[in-house]
Chain A
Amino acid sequence: MKLTLHVWRQEGPNVSGRFETYVLDDVSPHMSFLEMLDVLNERLIAEGKKPVAFEHDCREGICGSCGMVINGRPHGPRRRTTACQLHMRMFDDGDELWIEPWRARAFPVLRDLIVDRSAFDRIIEAGGYISCHTGGVPDANAIPIPKPAADRAFDAAACIGCGACVAACPNASAMLFVAAKVAHLGSLPQGQPERYRRVRRMVEAMEQEGFGHCSNHYECEAACPKGISIEYIAQLNRDLRRAALVGEDVLP
């Protein structure tokens, strides 16, 4: 396959970037998208040019490192698929591809396609956990959890923290990311004592980081490689309202 790539190149956070165009003549349909970028980079290095910086690690769709906007869509055209799991057979010979970093105020570009997503860590830091310390906990089977609740918690916990939801949202909101963690822990009995405190603190942290608010575009769900449902945002909003009404120190 022959492909024309327009890749966003930017030296650092404080300089402006631009698209540069590269033509690849010999792309195999069995390559992954990142392997295609590897091939481009090997060529650039051999030509004495700086390779395209992009984040990647597991290349199995689970670490959440990779992320780029491909032809206007975070992680590219295939639904529920990270960029590393996207294969070139999804494209046609002669295609033109526009490859850009996540674009959001809270995710400054560090170089080329790499952005700083540490804001996500700070949101988790604000309350995305159950405050139990190591040791002194009951037997695992002492807390029976109905299977549907456990499954629901799991579906939310499947978030890989890649940031595609933010990149897809017209408001650059991190609501789906926050809601996934709130719903994961809030669906489990162990997560109840801190349920309202958690939601309030996490949403506050999200606002402080400069993410926008949710105005129900549903783009996040469509872009999410793990198919996290926007229903969780509804759950978050219910918890947030209740926290405001009755305070955060009551039991649900």
Chain B
Amino acid sequence: MNLDAKIPAGPLEEKWQRHKNELKLVSPANKRKFKILVVGTGLAGASAAATLAELGYNVHVFTYHDSPRRAHSIAAQGGINAAKNYPNDGDSVWRLFYDTIKGGDFRSREANVFRLAEVSANIIDQCVAQGVPFAREYSGYLDNRSFGGAQVSRTFYARGQTGQQLLLGAYQALMRMVDAKRVMLWTREEMLDLVVIDGHPKGIITRNLVTGELRRHSGDAVLLCTGGYSNVFFLSTNAKNSNVTAIYRAFKRGAGFANPCFTQIHPTCIPPSGDYQSKLTLMSESLRNDGRIWVPKTPGDRRPPNEIPEHERDYYLERLYPSYGNLSPRDIASRAAKRVCDEGRGVGPGGLGVYLDFSDAIKRLGRDVIEQRYGNLFEMYERITGENPYEVPMRIYPAPHYTMGGLWVDYNLMSTIPGLHVLGEANFSDHGANRLGASALMQGLADGYFIIPYTLGHYLASYPKREITTDHPEFQRIEDEARARIEKILNANGKRTVMSFHRELGKLMWDYCGMSRHADGLRTALERIPALREEFWENVVVVGTGSELNQNLEYAGRVADFLEFAELICRDALHREESCGGHFREEYQTPDGEALRNDNDFAYVAVWEYTGPDSSPRLHKEPLVFENVKLTVRSYK
């Protein structure tokens, strides 16, 4: 497996510009001859598809939703980072770069992260020009707020609905290109597999979710913008349909999968309330700007929060991490919450929760200001829990939220299959072992608006154009495989529902490969997952046929892939004998319980290669070279 990251030479600050100068171009007249298949219409997919179409490429876009606007980017709440330094508080491209590298616990590539910080400012300009209604001050200029892991205010936001507004901006740009007939939009069309011919991705197989028809689409390049895989935990903050299928299928067709065990557990989510729970709801990190997190000092203290006097409360983040306090990064805040709950000091049902208390902020700023800032989040909390957060503190608990791991890509966002590009959360590139808040939106749009439009042309111009039609026998073969899988699921005729398998897998992953991991637990999971998978194929029940709208069948296909993919996460977590970012191995911690990184042995990207159904995936390593930052123990104290 070739893991040449193609990092341009030269000083960090000049790499991207130099690279852009050297990339090959496709002439305007030739662009329309290239058909680009873009899978997914979230921030990365929609922005890439719109921009590539504007440049003149013939773009086909696929989404399993009824509309591109439904992609889960829409649910991002808090904001988007950019090194604009509008507040004049000392921000710079370098600082955003450094915060991101450090926040990722020094497990990402310097050059990629620097480029991300560099283009961040362009994103804000672009979105404002599209009409994204960012928050503004009375001057008419843009407002910023603070987010976790940073000591400057660089987060742009649109109330608690930043993802929605950014996605609608990208969606509208995409629909404009649909109107111009430069984008062919395929809705309710789910990618089931990738067709690789002579080492290049030449198409995809999709299933139309209304008719069940399997279709072949050929193209000159494929862009996977299909998001993350947190739903492997069953309960996560992801949308119900989010899944790993597209990138996992690509892995099985030869794309290296990088750092699958780097999963992010978000500290502020609404705790589960019962065994019917279908998903978890995030409460934006931005709430930690004004909310104070605490638990009772005494284990087992069951008094209502307002009866616990100030001196019997433990504001543990402020105590443990005084310089960042409640705005400590997500991995740190999540683990701290788990620790106090493990000590028996958790609140709410089952002791799985901590308070996020706004009473001080309401006293200081008034209820109106808090309502202005977080009104929609408070409303959402009240709907779900039936409690009024203006009067009683919110109860929150960590939940799976984002996956830093993903398909390995080089500096051009190209996977180990030349021509297969991977954007946004689906790739592994920029967040190392932990992502900072408000950086996912930044990365998705950076990849789509400002990186792939440059790098894709380089691939297209580097290889001779080869016309392959969908009559090629390889299309037939892959389509037959996809059909066989569907039939196998339908013919299992078992007794257990898809959801019950998914729940069991999720519980297994949460218990053994969740917020903290141990070699013994990971080995247990690695024994139990194959058994569960075997049972799935024998005992799953899906009612109905494959030639109709059948949501349970769609779900079964996705869970089947999760049941294979879960093993890869555990394998990766077991091999990485260190703690870093979201990956916390109990065996590797400092005396005060902080993550203990091992830079001598693990400063690399772990890239897994599929070797067949009956053999273990092979591990490859891309060493991480740090020329500009000094690896330090990450401290937020």
Interface residues of A (CB under 8 A from B): 11-12, 28, 30-32, 34-35, 38-39, 41-42, 44-46, 48-51, 53, 55-65, 78, 80-81, 85-87, 89, 110-111, 114, 116-118, 120-121, 124-135, 137-141, 143-147, 150-151, 153-154, 157-158, 160-161, 184-185, 188, 190-191
Q: Which 3 interchain pairs have the tightest Cβ spacing?
A: A144-B140, A129-B172, A137-B129
**Number of cross-chain contacts by CB at 8 Å:** 216
- The answer, among B131, B279, B495, B549, for a CB contact under 8 Å with A188, is B131
| Complex interface: chain B residues within 8 A of A49 (CB) | 543
Cβ-neighbour of B386 out of A59, A89, A110 (below 8 A): A89
Cα A11 to Cα B211 in complex, Å, equals 12
Q: Indicate if the CB atoms of A134 and B51 lie closer than 8 Å.
A: yes
Interface-central residue, B125, B386, B544, by most chain A CB under 10 Å: B125
Contact, CB under 8 Å: A140 / B543? no
**Given the complex of chains A and B, what is the CA–CA distance between A81 and B383 in angstroms?**
8
- A190 lies within 8 A of B129 (CB): yes
List CB contacts (< 8 Å) of B159-189 with chain A: 159, 161, 164-165, 168, 171-173, 175-176, 178-179, 185, 187
Structural contact, A51 and B133, CB atoms closer than 8 A? no
Does B158 touch A at the CB level, under 8 Å? yes
Shortest beta-carbon distance from A65 to chain B in Å = 5
Residues of A within 8 A of B274 (CB): 28, 30-31
**What is the bound-complex CA distance between A85 and B179, given in angstroms?**
34
Flag if B50 contacts A134 (CB, 8 Å).
yes
Contact of B68 with A134 in the complex, beta carbons under 8 Å: no
A residues near B75, Cβ cutoff 8 Å: 58, 60, 62-63
Q: Are A57 and B72 in contact (CB under 8 A)?
A: yes
- Residues in chain A near residue B141, CB distance under 8 A: 141, 144
Which of A124, A128, A131, A144 touches B139 (beta carbons < 8 Å)?
A144
> Are B128 and A65 within 8 A (Cβ)?
no
Please determine whether B276 and A117 come into contact, CB atoms closer than 8 angstroms: no
**A57 and B243 alpha carbons, distance in the complex (Å):** 12
Using a CB–CB cutoff of 8 Å, the interface residues on chain B facing chain A are 47, 50-51, 54, 65-70, 72, 74-75, 84, 86, 122, 124-131, 133-142, 158-159, 161, 164-165, 168, 171-173, 175-176, 178-179, 185, 187, 210, 239-241, 273-274, 276-279, 281-282, 379-380, 383-384, 386, 449-450, 453, 495, 497, 499-500, 541-544, 548-549, 551-552
Nearest CB in chain B: distance from A174 CB, A: 14
CB-nearest residue of chain B to A141? B141
Tell me the complex Cα distance, A227–B565, Å.
Answer: 42
Residue in contact with A12 in the complex, picked from B67, B135, B386, B548, CB distance below 8 Å: B548
Contact of B54 among A80, A81, A134, A190 (CB under 8 A): A134
Closest chain-B Cβ to A59's Cβ sits at a distance in Å of 5
Q: Are A124 and B276 in contact (CB under 8 A)?
A: no
Are B187 and A135 touching (Cβ within 8 A)? no
Which of B173, B240, B380 makes the CB contact (< 8 A) with A61? B380
CB distance from A119 to the nearest CB of B (A): 10
Evaluate whether A57 and B133 lie within 8 angstroms (CB atoms) in the complex, with A38-B276, A137-B125 already known: no
**Using Cβ atoms and an 8 Å threshold, which residues of chain A touch B210?**
110
Which chain B residues border A81 with CB–CB below 8 Å?
383
Contact A132-B140, Cβ < 8 Å, known A87-B383, A89-B386, A117-B67: no
- Complex alpha-carbon distance, A127 and B179, angstroms: 9
Closest to A116 in B: B66
Q: Cβ of B379: which chain A residues have Cβ within 8 Å of it?
A: 80
Q: What are 23 A-B pairs at a CB distance below 8 A?
A: A28-B273, A38-B278, A44-B543, A46-B541, A51-B551, A53-B551, A56-B240, A57-B65, A57-B241, A59-B239, A59-B240, A59-B278, A63-B74, A85-B380, A110-B549, A120-B67, A121-B67, A121-B185, A131-B176, A132-B129, A134-B54, A146-B136, A161-B67
CB distance from B385 to the nearest CB of A (A): 8
| Bound Cα distance A118, B74 (Å) | 18
B544/A50 in contact, CB under 8 A: yes
B161 and A126 contact, CB distance less than 8 A: no
A109 to B158, CA, bound (A): 34
**A117 B66 Cβ-Cβ under 8 A:** yes
Bound Cα distance from A45 to B552, whole angstroms: 9
Are B126 and A134 touching (Cβ within 8 A)? yes
State the Cβ distance, B94 to closest chain A Cβ, in Å. 20
Q: Which residues of B contact A118 (CB under 8 A)?
A: 66-67, 187
B278 near A138 with CB under 8 A, answer no
Q: Which residues of B contact A184 (CB under 8 A)?
A: 131, 133
Contact present for B161 and A62 (CB under 8 Å):
yes
CB–CB A154/B72 < 8 A:
no
Query: Could you tell me if B65 and A87 are in contact, using CB atoms closer than 8 angstroms?
Result: no
- List the A side residues contacting B178 at CB < 8 Å: 121, 125
Q: In the complex, what distance in Å separates the CA atom of A157 from the CA atom of B162?
A: 11
Contact of A129 among B164, B175, B281 (CB under 8 A): B175
Q: What is the bound-complex CA distance between A150 and B138, given in angstroms?
A: 10
CA distance A173 to B15 in the complex (A): 54
CB distance from B446 to the nearest CB of A (A): 12
Residue of B nearest to A188 (CB): B131
Report whether B135 and A150 are in contact in the complex, using a CB–CB cutoff of 8 Å.
yes
Asked if A128 contacts B499 (CB within 8 A), the reply is no
Given known A-B contacts A57-B241, A135-B126, A137-B125, A190 and B131 have beta carbons under 8 A apart: yes
**Contact partner of A50 among B126, B127, B278, B543, CB < 8 A?**
B543
Residues of B within 8 A of A65 (CB): 65-66, 70
The answer to whether B72 touches A58 (Cβ under 8 A) is yes
CB of A31 within 8 A of CB of B175, answer no
Known: A63-B74, A85-B380, A140-B128. A133 touches B273 (CB 8 A): no
B125 touches A139 (CB 8 A): yes
Contacts A51-B551, A131-B176, A134-B54; is A35 near B383 (CB within 8 Å)?
no
